Every structure is written in C-alpha cells, then in structure tokens.
A = this chain, B = another copy of it.
Amino acid sequence: MAASDNQSSKSDNAAFELANFTPYRTAVVAQLLSEALAREYRDRFGISIPDWRVLVHLSAENGASVRDIEQKVVMEKSKISRAASRLVTRGLIARTKNETDGRLIHLSLTDQGWAMMGELLPLATAFQKRIDTILGAGSEAYESGLTRLWQELETSRDFDQD
C-alpha cells in the first residue's frame, strides 16, 4: 500500500464501465437513430439533419422565426440560419419579413416544401412505428425517461448559462 496515488487509482477505476454510463449510451443510440433516419431522407431528398428539423418544425407550426425554432429545437441559431439559406435556395421554404417586428424573419414552407413534406413525414411516421415495435411494452417507460431527463437538464442548463 505504499504505491503512489496514480497507481492506486488504476485499480479503483476498474469499477467504471463506459458501457454502463448513461450519457454515453444515450449518445450512441441517438447517433444510431440519426444515422438510420438520415440514410433514408438524405439519399432520397438530399437534406441534412438540421434541414430536417427546420422543415418539420415549420410544417408543425406552419411558419416560425429563427428564434422560435432555436428555442424549440435546441439548435444554434447560426445552424438554423444556414439550414434556412439552403432550403430557400432549393425553393422549399420562403423568408418573409415580420410586419410588427422588423427584426424577426418569418420562415414558412412553400408549396414545393409542403409537397416534399408530404412524402417525408409518412417515412418518419413509419420509422417511429419501427421504434415502437423495437421498444415493445417498454416504449412508454423509455419515453418518460427521456421526458424527465429533458426537463431536468434543460432547466439546469438555462440556470448555468446565466
């Protein structure tokens, strides 16, 4: 027991297993889900994950500002701004000025954008069904875990960033 501290830590640390570490496990599953999903709609529609999130949000809210999306979708505003630029170039969404507040920019799907979402969303729904099948009876428990973590971590995050 006269060994140095860094040697003693070598044995202590054996208790820690990355495979049981929830942040790591969640990150891997999130990545696998993203990859599986992205493979479908990137190959068929040429859109990235940021693109996808913006499009879905706009289809759900029927239009929103960059700030709206940023708050709801947990993405950097620069990422959203650039995704919006790509989508505008492709004619999928439109930028219009907000009348009451000149700082805000109203993003909304064009007819072409709606048409694409008409193909895209059923694909997402089918993917969700597949996930539910995988999770089986544990589906609700898994979702409730996500909800708890989200709520708790988001409040502590906002707190830290003040």
Contacts and interface: CB of A to CB of B under 8 A. Distances in A.
Contacts of A14: 60
Contacts of A153: 29, 32-33, 35-36
Q: Is the interface of A mostly helix, strand, loop or mixed?
A: helix
Interface residues of A, number: 74
- Number of this chain's copies in the assembly equals 2
A124 B21 contact: yes
Interface string A1-30: 000111101101110111011111111111
Contacts of A16: 56, 59-60, 121, 124-125
Interface in A15-68: 16-18, 20-37, 39, 53, 56-57, 59-60, 62
A160 interface: yes
B114 A154 contact: no
